[in-house]
C-alpha cells in the first residue's frame, strides 16, 4: 500500500449465492485487468482452454460474465445437479447480448483475456459427456508452487485449494494430498480460482470482507450421486470458518464449493459492508437470468483506514463454539482419560480435565469439552454418559483459529 494508514478493501455481497467464475467476473466488472488475469493464469502451463469476459444483463443490472471453454469444445456452466462443478443452475441456451450500456465497467467486459487455447497435450481425453481430468491436490499444489505468480496470488490460490482438499479429505476419510478434487480440480475451476486471485491482485486488494452467503435447498446431483443442497463440502467450508449464511426456498445450487472456498479461505471478516470510501462496484453474472432476483455476485471496492495503534484495533468476529463443563469427584484417572477420548471422537474441537478441590476438601476434576454448535448435542450426551454427571454447565464462546502456513527454511 502506498499509504500505511489506508487499505484497499473488496466487500463481496453474496445475496444470490456465490461461485468461482462469478467472483472473478465481478472483479473484472469492477475494473480488474482481463489481460493481466489471462497472463497470470497462463503461467500455470495448463493447456486447452479459453477464458473470455462478456457484458451481460441480469434483471436489468449490467454485469460481466466469465466463460471458460475447455478443449475448444464446451463452455463450463453452473448445473444445479452437480455441487462440485462450481456452477449455478444455468440454462446453456441463455444468450447474453450487449445492450449498449455505456457504464464505465463494461469497457473491461468485452475484452478477451488471453485466449489460451492450445493443443491438449496432458493425455486426458474428453468424451461426449465432457468429462474433465481429475487432478489430485498434490498436483494442483505443485502447479502453483512452480508457476511464476506474484506472492499474494500464489498464496491466496494455494489457501483456497488447501481448504477444498481438507474438507474433501475429511468427508472421504483420506489424506488431503490424495484427494482428487473431481470437477473442482478440472481446468475450468483452476482457472476460476487462480483468475479470481489474479483479479484481486490487479485491483490491489489488501482486505476482503464477505456478506452472509445465500444457499439453496433440496438435492443436487454430483460425481458421488444425489447429495443434499447445500452440498456437504459447501457446509463443511462454512462450518470450519464459522461463516454466516442464509437459506432461501430455491432448489438451485446457489453457493458452490469453489465460490465458498474463495470466500472462507480469503475473507478477513464477514458481515455488512465496512465503512469505506467507495471507488468502484462490479457484478459477476451467472448464465441464467432468473426472474425476480439478479443472478449476480456483487463486489464493492473502496478504501478504509487501517488500524494505526492499539486503541484502533477491533477484534474480528470469531467462530462461535460451545464450552461444556462438569465437576466430578468419583471418577478415576482411567475414566477421565476415556471420557476425553470419547469427547474428541464425538466431534469436540478439544477436551481436557482440570484438577480441583471440592466441598469438604474432596479432590476432583472439571472435565471440559469445546465443540462446534452443530455437534453440541452429541458432545453433551457423551460427557453426561461417560462421567455419570447429573448436569452440565454451558457457555457460548468465540475462537479465532489462524490459517496454517507452509514455509521452506534453508539451514
Indicate whether 13 and 132 sit together in one domain: yes
Indicate whether 293 and 332 sit together in one domain: no
The mean pLDDT of 6-10, rounded to a whole number, is 91
Indicate whether 283 and 340 sit together in one domain: no
**Does an H or E element contain 240, and which?**
helix 232-241
Question: For residues 346 and 348, what is the distance between their CA atoms, to the nearest angstrom?
Answer: 6
The mean pLDDT of 250-261, rounded to a whole number, is 92
DSSP secondary structure of 16-83? TBB-HHHHHHHHHHTT--HHHHHHHHHTT---SEEEEEEEEEETTEEEEEEEEEETTTEE----TT-T
In a domain, 408, yes or no: no
In a domain, 67, yes or no: yes
Going by C-alpha positions, the residue among 59, 93, 64 that lies closest to residue 77 is 93
Q: State the pLDDT at residue 317.
A: 56
State the residue for C-alpha cell 465432457: 130
Question: Who has greater pLDDT, 48 or 215?
Answer: 215
* pLDDT tens-digit readout, 304-348: 876 555 444 444 556 788 999 999 988 899 999 999 999 999 989
pTM check: above 0.75: no
Confidence band, pLDDT 50/70/90 cuts, at residue 226: confident
* pLDDT tens-digit readout, 14-28: 999 999 999 999 999
Q: Work out how many domains the chain is built from and give that number.
A: 2
CB 258 within 8 A of CB 20: yes
Last residue of a domain, one of 265, 289, 312: 312
Q: State the pLDDT at residue 205.
A: 96
* pLDDT tens-digit readout, 150-166: 999 999 999 999 998 88
Indicate whether 224 and 284 sit together in one domain: yes
CATH number where 363 lies: 3.30.70.1380
- Domain span at residue 387 reads 319-399
In a domain, 113, yes or no: yes
Amino acid at each position: 500500500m502506498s499509504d500505511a494508514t489506508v487499505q484497499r478493501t473488496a466487500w463481496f455481497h453474496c445475496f444470490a449465492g456465490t461461485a468461482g467464475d462469478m467472483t472473478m467476473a465481478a472483479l473484472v466488472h469492477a475494473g480488474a485487468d482481463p489481460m493481466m488475469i489471462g497472463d497470470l493464469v497462463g503461467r500455470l502451463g495448463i493447456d486447452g482452454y479459453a477464458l473470455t469476459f462478456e457484458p451481460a444483463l441480469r434483471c436489468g443490472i449490467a454485469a460481466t460474465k466469465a466463460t471458460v471453454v475447455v478443449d475448444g469444445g464446451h463452455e463450463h456452466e453452473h448445473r444445479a445437479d452437480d455441487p462440485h462443478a462450481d456452477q449455478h443452475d444455468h440454462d446453456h441456451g441463455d444468450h447474453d447480448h450487449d445492450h449498449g450500456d455505456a457504464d464505465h465497467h463494461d469497457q473491461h467486459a468485452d475484452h478477451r483475456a488471453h485466449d489460451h487455447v492450445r493443443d491438449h497435450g496432458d493425455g486426458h481425453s474428453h468424451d461426449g459427456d465432457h468429462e474433465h481430468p481429475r487432478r489430485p491436490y498434490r498436483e494442483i499444489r505443485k502447479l502453483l508452487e512452480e508457476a511464476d505468480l506474484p506472492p499474494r496470488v500464489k498464496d491466496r490460490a494455494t489457501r483456497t485449494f488447501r481448504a477444498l482438499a481438507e474438507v474433501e479429505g475429511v468427508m472421504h476419510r483420506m489424506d488431503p494430498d490424495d484427494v482428487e478434487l473431481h470437477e473442482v480440480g478440472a481446468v475450468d475451476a483452476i482457472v476460476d480460482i487462480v483468475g479470481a486471485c489474479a483479479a484481486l491482485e490487479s485491483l490491489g486488494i489488501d482486505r476482503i470482507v464477505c456478506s452472509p452467503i445465500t444457499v439453496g435447498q433440496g438435492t443436487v446431483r454430483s460425481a458421488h450421486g444425489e447429495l443434499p443442497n447445500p452440498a456437504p463440502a459447501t457446509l463443511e467450508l462454512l462450518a470450519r470458518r464459522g461463516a454466516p449464511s442464509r437459506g432461501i426456498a430455491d432448489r438451485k445450487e446457489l453457493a458452490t464449493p469453489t465460490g465458498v472456498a474463495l470466500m472462507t479461505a480469503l475473507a478477513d471478516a464477514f458481515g455488512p459492508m465496512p465503512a469505506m470510501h467507495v471507488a468502484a462496484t462490479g457484478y459477476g453474472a451467472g448464465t441464467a437470468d432468473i426472474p425476480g432476483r439478479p443472478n449476480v455476485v456483487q463486489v464493492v471496492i473502496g478504501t478504509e483506514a487501517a488500524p494505526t495503534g492499539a486503541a484502533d484495533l477491533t477484534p474480528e468476529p470469531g467462530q462461535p463454539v460451545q464450552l461444556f463443563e462438569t465437576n466430578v469427584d468419583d471418577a478415576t484417572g482411567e475414566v477421565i482419560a476415556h471420557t476425553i477420548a470419547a469427547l474428541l471422537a464425538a466431534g469436540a474441537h478439544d477436551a481436557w480435565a482440570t484438577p480441583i478441590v471440592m466441598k469438604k476438601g474432596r479432590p476432583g476434576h472439571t472435565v471440559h469439552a469445546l465443540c462446534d454448535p452443530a455437534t453440541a448435542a452429541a458432545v453433551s450426551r457423551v460427557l453426561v454418559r461417560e462421567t455419570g454427571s447429573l448436569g452440565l454447565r454451558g457457555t457460548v464462546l468465540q475462537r479465532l483459529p489462524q490459517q496454517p502456513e507452509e514455509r521452506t527454511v534453508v539451514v
